[in-house]
Amino acid sequence: MRSLLKYAALLLFAAVVCSFLGGCSVERMPEYYENSYDMGSDVLSVRFAYDTGEKDEKGKRVYFTDSQLGDVFSQCCDLYEDARNLTDHTNADVSAGLYAVNAQVNAVFDCDWELMGLLKRAYGLADVTGGYYQPVFGTVLRLLEENPQPEDALLNEALSHTGTDKITVENTAVYKTDPKAQVDLTGVRDGYALETIIAYLDESAVAYGFVTLNDSVGVFGTKANEKPFEIGIAGDTEDTSVQGSVQTESGYVFVASDAVNYQTGELAASDLSKVVVLADDAVAANVLAGALYAMGYEAGQVLYDNTDQSFEAVFFLCDGTVELTDGAYRAGLYHPVPADAKEK
């Protein structure tokens, strides 16, 4: 009897060991499906959760296939292209688009409703930033594309055709009082593209994930462990790949490390090496990141304290210090990488 029990115990032990080894040999399902769309100057990347958040009749988790998530990614790419076309001043195929608005004529334009909505938001943000963002700046940008170092006379001539007073937006029409003035919406393009993509993903079957577009990130859904998304912030030197991270459960994160000075047409001088903006409005986050960089830390804090625009910011000063807006500090949104971790 004793030998029989001993034999049974050995069999049980062997079964447990085999089960353990078998479990270890099974390849673990990755959390995210990853893909990217490289357009040369722009890169759109996605991470979609494989887990659908549902279980089958046997209680096992149900996962998306690569093909299913690939179809979702393809739609995201199409939405990006739509946003790019809407903000493309060279697209003559859109009769009510920017190409028509920028024609050198005095006229009243009935704009595409989607473009009109984006124009109104851009104009509103120009007011919020006190001119540190300017959508009617196309004459200068076109000049700089042709000649990065133009003569002062040419630059001043181009600057004389900038400003939202040269092209006004009212109701469903655009009134152009300066025939040479041109709207440029590249300053809101990434925000608008991310906004439309995240809106689509919120309505999709994908449970959670995030999308990156150049120096911006949009997150959607709720992670399975209900922890916030952690977005890494690159350092300012080549030997520091990650300087820290910001945590967010929703919305958008934009990073700016340079910006245009809309008074001179040159790159703005700043006491910041970069600024990170977190907001629920992607277009606003896009604009504010560049505007805060251009105006610098103290003016940026003043804007934060005196505007109804909802956002938080992390300021990386050129002297190496990091400052946060009150809300970002209270919420503990920013987490620096410890110095010893950087050395490793």
Separation between Cα atoms, residue 248 and residue 104, nearest integer Å: 45
CA of 55: how far to CAs of 27, 59, 62, in Å? Answer: 20, 5, 5
Q: Which residue has the higher pLDDT, 1 or 195?
A: 195
Of the candidates 306, 302, 283, the one whose C-alpha atom is nearest the C-alpha of residue 292 is: 302
Lowest-pLDDT range of 197-206, 219-228, 277-286, 297-306: 219-228
Tokens matching residue 266: 């040159």
Mean per-residue pLDDT, 53-72: 93
Q: Where are the alpha helices (DSSP H) in the chain?
A: 2-25, 66-86, 98-101, 113-128, 138-146, 152-159, 186-203, 282-295, 297-305, 326-331, 339-343
**Domains delineated in the chain:** 88-184 (1.10.3980.10), 228-344 (3.10.520.10)
- Look at the block and give the residue holding tokens 């179809």: 71
**Under 8 Å between Cβ of 289 and 301:** no
Mean pLDDT for 41-47 is: 94
Instruction: Tell me whether residue 147 is exposed, middle or buried, using C-beta atoms within 10 angstroms of its C-beta: 0 to 12, 13 to 18, 19 or more.
Output: exposed
pLDDT digits 0-9 by tens, 70-119: 999 999 999 999 999 999 998 887 667 888 888 887 776 677 889 999 99
CB half-sphere exposure, 187, CA atoms < 13 A: 28
Q: Mind listing the pLDDT tens digit for each residue in 125-172? A: 999 999 999 999 999 999 999 998 999 999 999 999 999 999 988 877
Confidence of residue 13 (pLDDT cuts 50, 70, 90): very low
